Structure formats: structure tokens, C-alpha cells
Amino acid sequence: MTALYRRVIHVVSVSGGKDSLATLLIALERCGHANVIAIFCDTGNEHDLTYAYLIYLEQALGITIVRLKADFREQLLAKRAFIAADVRTRREYDTRPVFEADGKTPVPKRDGRGNIVLNKKGKPVQKTVKVGGGRRVRWSNKAKRRALAVMHPTGNPFLDLCMWKGRFPSRTAQFCTEELKRNMAVGFQLELMEAGHRVISWQGVRRDESQNRADAKKWERVGHRLRIARPLVDATAAQVFALAQSRGVQPNPLYLQDMSRVGCMPCINCNKAELRAIAARFPEHPARISEWERIVGQCSKHGYSTFMADAHPAKDRRVVFADLNIWARVEWSKTSRGGRQRNLLDDVENDGLGCSSSYGLCEQSDALSAQDIAKALGARAASNFLSLEPA
Ligand code: SF4
């Protein structure tokens, strides 16, 4: 670390979204440019406008945003060697749901910490137990050849991570936030602490975003050298937009293009309205995800993997993939609730929960329409919205 760093360093994790922008503005005003470091954890699954927006922010605020990008080259090389040499077998089991003694009340599934696991809709997932002797699962020679043909580092963190894991993340295994954002941000802060600095980590978390964030504290002591500051816990989305506007800083232009959140394009947890808007405005992104589904599927034992995974009754992976691949999801996003009927009138349907990370590293979906956002910004700001020139 260079001598430029002071004893207390304020690290703001910038995602390109409104909450991290407001947090950055507050940190800069309260602590001064010399004491604040803005970091951006690049997932490789971002919109080009977000990359351009970071440059705009640097010019508008007179700062440098440190880009952090995870690298999985070593893991991929190790995985290739493992697949090539793997002769192990393991078993895959059928399962049955577990009920309380009354035979009716479902027993909730709990994670390693004893917390109840929730599904995409925020409802408890039922506990299951293995049934029968199971089936043997291993890398067949065909699957090995298929995986080894494509499993080469691409330099894109999201794709490399999924190739390494042989699957896409999901709500119950959201390793993307951990590997691409949290570990990068924590690693950066650890380096500062190891160099003898105290760190204050600023997080753009609002309590009204989700249940996970409802109890977020404004100020938290994590360790001897690390504190967390969450200056926005009581703020609303409209107040956050208003704060940026009052400082003459434009929010990410994606907000006026029907995007209710900024971050991965798309996020594995994005809701129907958002996916529909992405497919309509930026069809190149579902096309890229479709290609990723092909590549990541080839890196899995079974040959299939879907970006937006969900429960499916079929055992045949081809059937599951046909129903849940990204293009099938895009078609689903055009239907009304329940997925059966196309609803042309419903433009603000919001039946997903977005990201549930309690670290504030992935922005949550807000049920704000482009009109709400334009209103919050005011007509003049909205008219300048698409320009990325410093105000
Ligand atoms: S949870 Fe969504 S926004 Fe966050 S890293 Fe994963 S895909 Fe990206």
C-alpha cells in the first residue's frame, strides 16, 4: 500500500446503482476525497452502460474507481486436471418431503447455521430426505471429453466461475455474490488492514429493500480494524435518487430504460418485468447468456445447466433445460402470473425478489417504474439522463 493512504480509510463498494452512488456521495462529503477509496467488483456480466457510467462518475466526482476482477484461472486448471484423472463414483438419490408428527405440517429446511432456507418467493423450503439406494454418478468419458474441450479460462469472471463450478448460481447457492463481489471487496479491505490501516466499509443498504436487509444496522463494529457504515438504512429509493440529483450527479442511465436495478445483466434472480425489459431492449444479453448456458452445460457432468434455475418435476435434464433455458424464461416473462397467459397490459408486474445478499453488494429490485424514477429525478434531470457528461 502506498503512503497516500491515511490511518482510517473509507472504502465504498460502487455497483453503478443508485444506492452505492448515494453512499459514495455521502462518504466523499463527510470524509473527503483523500480518505475515500471507491471500488467496483466487475462480475463480467454487466451492461456496457455501467462501464461507461463508472468513467462518467470518475470525471464528475474527481475520483478513481478501483476495478476488482476475480480470476479463476488456477481453479479451472485444477478442475481440468481433476476431471481428466477422476475415477471416483458418488451416488445421486431420490428424495421425499418431511412433515411434522401430524403428517401435514411441512418441516422447513435449514442451512448450516440453523436458518430457515427460503425460496425465490421468500417462502420456506421444505426439508427432504434421501430415499432408496440412489444411482451412481460420475464423469463418463463422453462428459469428460465434452468438458475438457471447452473448459478454458476466458477472462470473464462470471463465465469462468460457472465453468469451474459446472453450474450457474441459484438463490440457494448464490456463490456469484460471494466469489465475484464479497471475496474481492473483503480481500481488498484485508490488504489495507494488513498494511496497518483501519477500514470503514460503506454499504448502500436500505431496510425497505428486502426482509434480509430489514434489520440492517446503521453502524457496526466487525473487528479491531473494521467498521461498517450504512448511511442509507432509513432512506427510500426516491430519496436516494433525489440526493444524487441535488448534488448534480446523474444516476446510471439504465434506470430510464426500464431497469429497476443495476448490476448483472441479467441477474440470476431477476423478476419477470425486468427480464422482459432486458429481452426487449438489450436482446444481445439473453443471447450471450444462451451461449453461456451451452458452455457451462458442457462443463457439467450431466451436459445441461440453466442460468435461471428453478424447481422442475422432470428428472430428464433435457426436459428441464427445454423448459428453463434463458429463451424459455424470456417467453415466460411475457406471461401473466402463473406463467400461462400473455399479459400485454401488465408493465409493472414484480413477482421476483431480486438479490437477497445482506452485504449490499448486489442491488435489490425496486418496484419503481421509469416514470417513478423520472418523477423522483425531476423533468430537467430526466431529459439529461442519457448523457454521461459530468454535470
Ligand atoms: S446475485 Fe445477481 S447481481 Fe448479484 S452477483 Fe449474482 S447474478 Fe450478479
Smallest CA separation from ligand 1 atom 6, residue = 176
What digits encode the pLDDT tens for the residues 55-88? 999 999 999 999 999 999 999 999 999 998 877 6
- Residues touching ligand 1 (Cβ under 6 Å) are 43, 169, 174, 176-177, 180-181, 263-264, 267-269, 355, 362
Q: Is 322 helix (H, G, I), strand (E, B) or coil?
A: helix
**Strand segments (E) across the chain:** 8-13, 36-42, 65-69, 90-97, 128-137, 198-202, 219-221, 226-229
Calculate the alpha carbon distances from 219 to 54, 182, 191 in Å: 27, 19, 22
| Domains of the chain (ranges, CATH numbers) | 8-72+175-262+368-383 (3.40.50.620), 89-137 (no CATH)
What is the pLDDT, as a whole number, of residue 341? Answer: 44
Residue nearest to atom 7 of ligand 1 (CA): 267
Q: What are phi and psi for residue 203, nearest 5 degrees?
A: -125, 135
Whether residue 362 has pLDDT greater than 70: no
32/234 Cα distance (integer angstroms) = 23
The CA 169 to ligand 1 mean position distance, Å, reads 9
Give the residue, 29 or 363, on which the prediction is more confident. Answer: 29
CA atoms within 13 A on the CB side of 364: 24
Measured CA to CA in angstroms, residue 177 lies from 23, 170, 174, 317 at distances of: 19, 11, 6, 26
List of residues 6+ apart from 232 with CB closer than 8 A: 19, 22, 23, 26, 204, 205, 206, 240
For residue 373, pLDDT over 80 is answered with no
Nearest protein CA to atom 8 of ligand 1, as residue: 264
Identify the pLDDT of residue 313: 85
Give the pLDDT of residue 337. 64
C-alpha 269 to ligand 1 mean position (Å): 7
383's CB contacts (< 8 A; 6+ apart) are none
Q: What would the mean pLDDT of 14-19 be, rounded to a whole number?
A: 93
Is the pLDDT assigned to residue 44 strictly greater than 90?
yes
Cα of 111 to ligand 1 centre, how many Å?
20
From the CA of 261, give the closest atom in ligand 1.
3
What share of the chain in percent tops pLDDT 70? 83
Instruction: Check residue 372 and give its pLDDT.
Output: 52
**DSSP states along 28-56:** HHHH-GGGEEEEEEE-S---HHHHHHHHH
Note the pTM of the prediction, 2 decimals: 0.77
Please report, for residues 182, 219, 271, the alpha-carbon distance to residue 193 in angstroms, rounded to integers and kept in the order given: 16, 19, 38
Asked if the model's pLDDT at residue 303 lies above 70, the reply is yes
Query: Going by DSSP bridges, is the β-strand pair 65-69/226-229 parallel, antiparallel, or unpaired?
Result: unpaired
Q: Are 47 and 285 in contact (CB under 8 A)?
A: yes
C-alpha closest to that of 330 among 283, 293, 376: 283
Distance between CA atoms of residues 391 and 245, nearest Å: 10
- Residue 355 CA, ligand 1 centroid: distance in Å: 6
Whole-number Å distance between alpha carbons of 68 and 71: 10
